[in-house]
Structure 1
């Protein structure tokens, strides 16, 4: 006979047969008499689940902290760009460069143009605007995080000077604009 109401319901539903119900009730009685129980297994499983949850929480916290650090670094770089950019750049000389596979054109004065061409100034992207930064500051920003610098002519100038220039003897006119 079934001693438990739940077992009776399971029998009625056809989920458990009489043989299985008797076996389970005898197993419960045996565990009660001998003091053996699945409590130790249950406690071990609970402890294991706790450890897994702690490890998962720690990994999530580390990911959140990494994202916060990256966000703070981006904010500090944007602040550095806005503080150290060259302000008086308006002029009538057009300078073209590539940003995200699109050709962009800015109008700057001749002094800024010469500095960009020589590589002493570098173009950086500050949100949707472009900023002109000194080479040393731009290199520090690039060491901290990639993706802010757009145009860096100093690398091209170094490559050109290292190669043997077959046209070095020819004079290039100063007023030549591309």
Structure 2
């Protein structure tokens, strides 16, 4: 008598006789009891699959940890900017000066006092991106932020960044940084 449905179907179809079916079932039972080589191979394959799964899980955990660290660093930098931003910006008074700069190929404008304007031009104050707007930061803090994570500093008028080429035909014609648009 057949032990499973497939053996029963094969017997009914006449593809396998009852002697062969009994022999095959006895062989499979014997292999199960004695732990044949096929059983050892399946154990090895199972162990390899588990090792691969553990390695894959560790890799995913590392990626998640890196993403979490990036988010934490980003939040810390935003908090630093909010805490240390210069709040002397003015809006709509007679003494304000508009400072225009380029951010992601768009011209932006902020209104500041003349003193802040001079500090921005001199490079002592830096304009940083803060969520939807901009913040003014002291130069040392901006350098620390830029060292940790780039992308926050929008305007940094550093005199050492402008290196002149020896072959530049327009080197004698200096363009002032404080040019009003």
1:129 matched to 2:133? The reply is yes
Which secondary structure state, in structure 1, belongs to the residue aligned with residue 128 of structure 2? strand
Structure 1 length as normaliser, TM-score?
0.78
Q: 2:16 matched to which residue of 1?
A: 18
Q: Which runs of 5+ in 2 are unaligned?
A: none
How many angstroms apart in 1 are the aligned matches of 2:53 and 2:34?
34
How many angstroms apart in 2 are the aligned matches of 1:128 and 1:32?
68
C-alpha distance 126-48 of structure 1, shift in aligned 2 (>3 A): same
The number of residues matched between the two structures is: 168
The alpha carbon displacement at 1:64 in A equals 0.9
Deviations 1:28-77 (A, max 9, x none): 26636865252212211221121111111111111111111111101110
Which secondary structure state, in structure 1, belongs to the residue aligned with residue 88 of structure 2? coil
C-alpha distance 127-31 of structure 1, shift in aligned 2 (>3 A): same
Does the CA contact (< 8 Å) of 2:127 and 2:137 recur in 1?
A: yes
Q: 2:160 matched to which residue of 1?
A: 158
C-alpha distance 13-3 of structure 1, shift in aligned 2 (>3 A): closer
How many angstroms apart in 2 are the aligned matches of 1:93 and 1:71?
36
Q: 2:121 matched to which residue of 1?
A: 117
Structure 2 length as normaliser, TM-score?
0.77
The alpha carbon displacement at 1:116 in A equals 0.7
